[in-house]
Amino acid sequence: MRSGLLLLVCAVGVSTYLMRLVPLALTSRSLSSAEGLHPRLRGFFGAVAPSFVAVFLVYSIIPASGGVDLLEVALKLAALLPVALVYLKTRHFGSAVLAGLAAYAALFFLAR
């Protein structure tokens, strides 16, 4: 492996580690104090998860290549219904993801 590529891999690993470590360190220090999380920090952490879910949802539905396959978009949108129903019933993210995968696989098989 070339040294430049190895350096790049190490830099990506360190940045990924720091992106996880810094929020954890901030929250653990704030939680150990008597007053808990600062309201701004609590608001920030409350907004991060829905923001990431929205980004991943849009990225997974709309293709990055520019060409839009309407059948593929319709299948992905239809697979969101079981995800929402299972999550609202169980409040378990893993079960909702599995339901969405199963629904998409079934719809994909039936459509092709």
Task: Decide: 37 and 27 in contact? Cβ < 8 Å.
Answer: yes
Helix (H, G, I), strand (E, B) or coil at 67: coil
φ and ψ of 66, to 5 deg: 100, -35
DSSP category for residue 2: -
Q: What is the pLDDT along the chain (112 residues), one digit of tens a residue?
A: 688 889 999 999 999 898 888 877 776 665 555 456 677 777 877 787 778 878 877 777 776 666 778 888 888 889 999 999 998 999 888 888 899 999 999 999 998 7
Cβ atoms < 10 Å from Cβ of 21? 11
Residues with Cβ < 8 Å from 36, sequence gap 6 or more? 30
